Amino acid sequence: MTTNDGGQITERKRGSGVKMVYDLLRDEILDLKLVPGSPIDEVQLAARFGMSRTPIREALVRLAGDGLIETLPNRSTLVSNIDFLNMHAYFDALVLMYRVTTRLAALHHTTDDLHLIRGLQDEFAAAVQAQDALGMIATNAGFHSAIAAAGRNHYYASFFERLLVDGRRILRLYYQSYEDQLPSRFVEEHAEIIAAVEARDVAAADRLGKIHAEQIVEQINRLLTRYQSSDIQL
C-alpha cells in the first residue's frame, strides 16, 4: 500500500508544494485510486512528498472545503464516500445546470467562445474515437465547462463545475460501461448543441441541454440499477 511514487526531493518553488499535493490528491480521489472511505495519513503524505506536514495540512483543508475528504476531529481524515442515496437530487441539479448554462451560452457567447468550444468538442470526439474513458471524462467536462463559461455567469459556472467534479467519480463508472459500444451519439448531440448556441436559439439550446443531460442520467441510472438492485427514484 505504501507506494513511494512521486518522492522526488527536488527544490520546489515556495508556494508550489500545496498546489501540487492538492492537485495530485484531488486527481487520485476522483480517479478512484484512493477508494472512498480509506484513511489519509498526514505524516505518510509528508514523507511521500518530502515536505513538512504544514503544506500537506493546507492541501487537506482545501480538499475538505471541496467535500472530497472528511476530517473527524482529533481522529482521522478519510476520503468522502459517494452519496448514492441522494443521487436523484444530484441528477436533478445536473440537468438544470446543463439547461441553464447552455441557454445562457446561446445568449451571451462570443466568436472566441465558439472557437474554444469547437476545439474541445474535437478533443472529445478524438477521445471517443480512441476509446479513452478517462480522456472522455476530461474532455466532456471541459466542453461543458467552456459552454458554461460562455454563458458569462460565474455563479452558475462555478456551481456547475462543482457538480461535474462531484460527479466525476460516478462518471468514471459510467464511461467504463461503454467499453463495447461507445457513445458516438454524444458527439452528435454536442454538435447540435454547438449549432443551437451559434444560432443563438435559446429555446433549442435549452431543449438540447435538457435532452443531453437526461440521456446521461438515464444511462447512469441504468448502470446503477444493474450494479445494485435497489430502486432509484428520479
Partner DNA sequence: TGTATTTTTCTTGTCGACAAGGCTCTCACG
Partner DNA sequence: CGTGAGAGCCTTGTCGACAAGAAAAATACA
Does residue 92 interact with its own copies by CB under 8 A? yes
**Contact between 218 and 114 (Cβ < 8 Å):** no
**Contact between 101 and 157 (Cβ < 8 Å):** yes
In the complex with its own copies, which residue's Cβ is closer, 30 or 68? 68
Provide, rounded to whole angstroms, the least separation between the CB of residue 16 and DNA. 6
Does residue 218 interact with DNA by CB under 7 A? no
- Candidates 115, 154, 185, 222: give the one binding its own copies (CB under 8 A): 154
* 58 contacts: CB under 8 Å, gap ≥ 6: 18
Provide, rounded to whole angstroms, the least separation between the CB of residue 153 and its own copies. 4
- Strand (E) or helix (H) holding 40: strand 39-40
Residue 224 cell numbers, joined? 446503477
Does residue 69 interact with DNA by CB under 7 A? no
Does residue 201 interact with its own copies by CB under 8 A? no
Provide, rounded to whole angstroms, the least separation between the CB of residue 110 and its own copies. 16
What is each CA distance from 12 to 6, 7, 19, 56, in whole angstroms?
Answer: 13, 13, 11, 14
- Candidates 1, 10, 65, 73: give the one binding DNA (CB under 7 A): 73
Write the DSSP string, 104-136: HHHHH--HHHHHHHHHHHHHHHHHHHTT-HHHH
Does residue 12 interact with its own copies by CB under 8 A? no
Does residue 74 interact with its own copies by CB under 8 A? yes
**Contact between 113 and 129 (Cβ < 8 Å):** no
Instruction: Considering only residues 29 through 68, tell me which ones interact with DNA, judged by CB under 7 A.
Output: 39-43, 51-55, 57-58
User: 3-state DSSP call for residue 217?
Assistant: helix
Instruction: Considering only residues 44 through 63, tell me which ones interact with its own copies, judged by CB under 8 A.
Output: 54, 57-58, 61-62
Does residue 71 interact with DNA by CB under 7 A? yes
29-49 as b/e: b if 16+ CB within 10 A: bbeeebeeeeebebeebbebb
- Candidates 100, 136, 148, 149: give the one binding its own copies (CB under 8 A): 100
Which residues form the interface with its own copies (CB under 8 A)? 14-15, 54, 57-58, 61-62, 65-66, 73-74, 83, 86, 89-90, 92-93, 96, 100, 152-156, 159, 162-163, 166
